[in-house]
Chain A
């Protein structure tokens, strides 16, 4: 395929997909180990009311207010879940289920009430994302990568998700030791004087920011899938945290690239005319990877646990 076709049409969605996948997979490693994997699911549902409220307040479909609204809703949800869990003495899963479904329902209701469908803010868009449409029209070929004028026409989602990814990497790098310690032995981390509650909240907030940035570009399916599937698959590959994180990045990148390619070109190979949902395909590929590691991964079973027949 020539650069003149690939660069404007596929390069940016591909890069955005990769950045989003890695940005979600990184915090996902810790969430999966801490048995908080479903927080990504909860966050990606509650983002909807945040976006709708931001739209109703500002009246414009623009990125920053919506990102702020979504991040705000995510934080509200995390606080509410914690409050319901503690005040009502309800187990975490049920508390999460109560809050995220109710907030999602509120979001859908607001959406229908405010008649925002005419501004391309609909539920399906929020679920599927629009990765395929994030094309770089100003590009003409590989040379455009050095062309200042063409670079100005890059989809804004790309720099945004890239900055988010850098932030997530920075957080993981800076807090690596405390994160690892408090994940595996919270009690020990506390005796060392670590503020594990603050750290755990920070992790969830970083996850929320990654989710919101990715959500804006690629929809909620990828977000949930990338929080869980690559880290879970990586966990079945190794016993060491460093290697697990490395594997999860590899799996996230493979899912993003392979999923995008299969969605865009797979149907053509099979003789169909139109592409299928890239977001859905990326999630599917990550699931296939997880299935493969669950069947053949070297560390797939609990070590020491009796093998069930």
Chain B
């Protein structure tokens, strides 16, 4: 059943939903990246909540004009207008008052949402029955997606993507380093606004599929996930789009494969699964990689300390140290050094003495900074310099040559 869904074998409507969701996920992932890199991920939360009063007002207006009230275009226009007003409120509060951005975001999202709920109750009392489906905007509903709806979503997604392609250079610059961008003559304010406009477009388009609460997830989770895998801004953008698209597609397919699996939450949980996977397993930034790095570091410290102990004839009590020495063939199980162990230990001790001189000598300041007890002195100084230092140490004193 799931395989059928993944390969679009579940009929016309499921296919429509899956393709629509994938397009939406792709554009949300790409757009959200700029927001994430600009460290304003939660602005999307304010934007999405601010769409609700627009939906309500648009419905009321459409009904007042004698229309159906549920035309997707009308509701989308309404939500776009109120999201834009909400966005302006956030930026006005942040710029013109001393409130921090997070307080401005929270205030706008709760007040707009609250007002939207007031409007929804008005609609409920006005015309029982006709408002059916309006609540789908809260949590998303794809069951009744029509060809026209899918077309709007696809078009919206495509336009957003095209604009991102067009503006990605300046937007990346602004997202990473607004001051530098300003110095380069990039109109930072205008591109910030453009970025927000794109986020708003994605939010409005996505309302119908995942609902206003969960669209935030599609804008935030894919970029965060993509960031684990690469350091390059361009790649984060495309990878995030890919992750967003794939998780939306898979989510839609999974939700079509069984009853009682709401599309929006499944899509969000799918992308969260990608996130969790990356958090643990990504190279460099992942947890597993960090743990391995730590273990390796720990081994090097223990080995070094063990060698110094051997050189000074001190007994080794630390079990891990002993085991590491033994495995490297430097010591026997009873802690007595092998021939090779004695040689390495003597070198370790001599290097330590060399470092001591390097660190005491201002001429070697640069090299001394790299002393961490682990770096080989050969990696920092040239053979000539080492020879020079060795001359200062003098011949062997009390250590068997």
Residue positions of A touching B, CB distance < 8 A: 32, 35-38, 40-41, 45, 84, 87-91, 93-98, 101-102, 104-106, 108-109, 112-113, 115, 123-124, 127-128, 221-222, 224-225, 227-229, 231-232, 235-236, 263, 267, 272-277, 279-284, 286-287, 290, 294, 297, 299-303, 305, 308
- Distance between B279 CB and nearest chain A CB, rounded to angstroms: 5
Residue pair B97, A287 in contact (C-beta under 8 Å): no
Q: Which of B39, B100, B122, B138 contacts A35 (CB 8 A)?
A: B100
Residue pair B224, A98 in contact (C-beta under 8 Å): yes
User: Inside 8 A of A273's CB, which chain B residues have their CB?
Assistant: 125
Name the CB-closest residue of A to B140: A108
In the complex with contacts A36-B102, A101-B216, A287-B265 CB distance below 8 A:
no
User: Inside 8 A of B116's CB, which chain A residues have their CB?
Assistant: 280
Q: Tell me, in angstroms, the Cα distance from A35 to B96 when the chains sit together.
A: 17
Q: Tell me, in angstroms, the Cα distance from A216 to B118 when the chains sit together.
A: 19
CB of B42 within 8 A of chain A?
yes
- Distance between B380 CB and nearest chain A CB, rounded to angstroms: 29
Q: Which of A89, A97, A290 contacts B45 (CB 8 A)?
A: A97
Interface segment, B71-79, B268-276, B381-389?
B268-276
Q: Which of A94, A225, A297 contacts B110 (CB 8 A)?
A: A225
In the complex with contacts A93-B39, A108-B264, A279-B117, A224-B106 CB distance below 8 A:
yes
0/1 string, B96-113, CB within 8 A of A gives 1? 111110111111011111
Q: Which of B257-306 contact A (CB under 8 A)?
A: 260-262, 264-266, 268-269, 272, 275, 279, 285, 287, 290
Residue pair B42, A96 in contact (C-beta under 8 Å): yes
Q: Which of A45, A102, A284 contacts B272 (CB 8 A)?
A: A102
- Distance between A134 CB and nearest chain B CB, rounded to angstroms: 17
Residue pair A236, B111 in contact (C-beta under 8 Å): no
Q: Tell me, in angstroms, the Cα distance from A236 to B103 when the chains sit together.
A: 12
Residue pair A287, B96 in contact (C-beta under 8 Å): no
- Distance between B37 CB and nearest chain A CB, rounded to angstroms: 10
Q: Which of B36, B103, B265 contacts A105 (CB 8 A)?
A: B265
Residue pair A290, B107 in contact (C-beta under 8 Å): yes
Name the CB-closest residue of A to B41: A94
In the complex with contacts A102-B221, A280-B115, A300-B97, A108-B262 CB distance below 8 A:
yes
Q: Tell me, in angstroms, the Cα distance from A273 to B128 when the chains sit together.
A: 14
Q: Tell me, in angstroms, the Cα distance from A97 to B223 when the chains sit together.
A: 11
User: Inside 8 A of B265's CB, which chain A residues have their CB?
Assistant: 104-106, 108-109, 112
In the complex with contacts A96-B42, A127-B138, A279-B114, A105-B106 CB distance below 8 A:
no
Which of B99, B113, B116, B285 is packed against the most chain A CB atoms within 10 Å?
B99
Which of B92, B223, B269 is packed against the most chain A CB atoms within 10 Å?
B269
In the complex with contacts A101-B214, A221-B110, A308-B95, A37-B117 CB distance below 8 A:
no
Name the CB-closest residue of B to A90: B224
Name the CB-closest residue of B to A299: B98
30 pairs from A and B in contact (CB 8 Å cutoff)? A90-B224, A94-B42, A94-B220, A96-B42, A97-B45, A98-B220, A101-B213, A101-B220, A105-B217, A105-B269, A106-B265, A109-B266, A109-B269, A124-B135, A224-B113, A225-B107, A231-B103, A235-B99, A236-B97, A236-B99, A276-B118, A276-B125, A277-B120, A283-B110, A283-B114, A283-B115, A284-B118, A286-B110, A294-B93, A300-B96
Residue pair A286, B45 in contact (C-beta under 8 Å): no
User: Inside 8 A of B371's CB, which chain A residues have their CB?
Assistant: none
Which of B104, B106, B113, B223 is packed against the most chain A CB atoms within 10 Å?
B106
Name the CB-closest residue of B to A84: B279
Residue pair B118, A97 in contact (C-beta under 8 Å): no
CB of B121 within 8 A of chain A?
yes
Q: Which of A104, A227, A299, A301 contacts B106 (CB 8 A)?
A: A227
CB of B350 within 8 A of chain A?
no
User: Inside 8 A of A35's CB, which chain B residues have their CB?
Assistant: 100, 102-103
User: Inside 8 A of B223's CB, which chain A residues have their CB?
Assistant: 94
Q: Tell me, in angstroms, the Cα distance from A108 to B268 when the chains sit together.
A: 11
Residue pair B224, A290 in contact (C-beta under 8 Å): no
Q: Tell me, in angstroms, the Cα distance from A300 to B98 when the chains sit together.
A: 6
- Distance between B187 CB and nearest chain A CB, rounded to angstroms: 16
User: Inside 8 A of A105's CB, which chain B residues have their CB?
Assistant: 214, 217, 264-266, 268-269, 272
Contacts A97-B216, A267-B125, A274-B121 aside, 9 further interface pairs with beta carbons under 8 A come to A87-B287, A98-B217, A108-B214, A109-B265, A128-B117, A224-B113, A225-B111, A228-B107, A267-B122
Q: Tell me, in angstroms, the Cα distance from A109 to B109 when the chains sit together.
A: 24
Name the CB-closest residue of A to B106: A228
Which of A35, A113, A128, A221 is packed against the most chain B CB atoms within 10 Å?
A221
Our count of residue pairs bridging A and B at CB distance below 8 angstroms stands at 217
- Distance between A263 CB and nearest chain B CB, rounded to angstroms: 7
CB of B40 within 8 A of chain A?
yes
- Distance between A25 CB and nearest chain B CB, rounded to angstroms: 12
Q: Tell me, in angstroms, the Cα distance from A84 to B216 when the chains sit together.
A: 17
CB of B194 within 8 A of chain A?
no
Q: Which of A84, A123, A286 contacts B111 (CB 8 A)?
A: A286
User: Inside 8 A of A123's CB, which chain B residues have their CB?
Assistant: 138-139
Q: Tell me, in angstroms, the Cα distance from A248 to B345 when the chains sit together.
A: 68
- Distance between B230 CB and nearest chain A CB, rounded to angstroms: 14
Name the CB-closest residue of A to B223: A94
User: Inside 8 A of B261's CB, which chain A residues have their CB?
Assistant: 109, 112-113
User: Inside 8 A of B102's CB, which chain A residues have their CB?
Assistant: 35-38, 93
Name the CB-closest residue of A to B267: A105
User: Inside 8 A of A229's CB, which chain B residues have their CB?
Assistant: 107, 110-111
Q: Tell me, in angstroms, the Cα distance from A286 to B265 when the chains sit together.
A: 31
- Distance between A106 CB and nearest chain B CB, rounded to angstroms: 6
- Distance between A56 CB and nearest chain B CB, rounded to angstroms: 14
CB of B191 within 8 A of chain A?
no
Residue pair B106, A280 in contact (C-beta under 8 Å): no
Residue pair A89, B285 in contact (C-beta under 8 Å): yes
CB of B238 within 8 A of chain A?
no
Q: Tell me, in angstroms, the Cα distance from A133 to B262 when the chains sit together.
A: 29
In the complex with contacts A101-B216, A108-B264, A109-B265, A287-B115 CB distance below 8 A:
yes
In the complex with contacts A112-B261, A224-B110, A301-B96, A93-B42 CB distance below 8 A:
yes
In the complex with contacts A98-B221, A109-B269, A280-B117, A88-B285 CB distance below 8 A:
yes
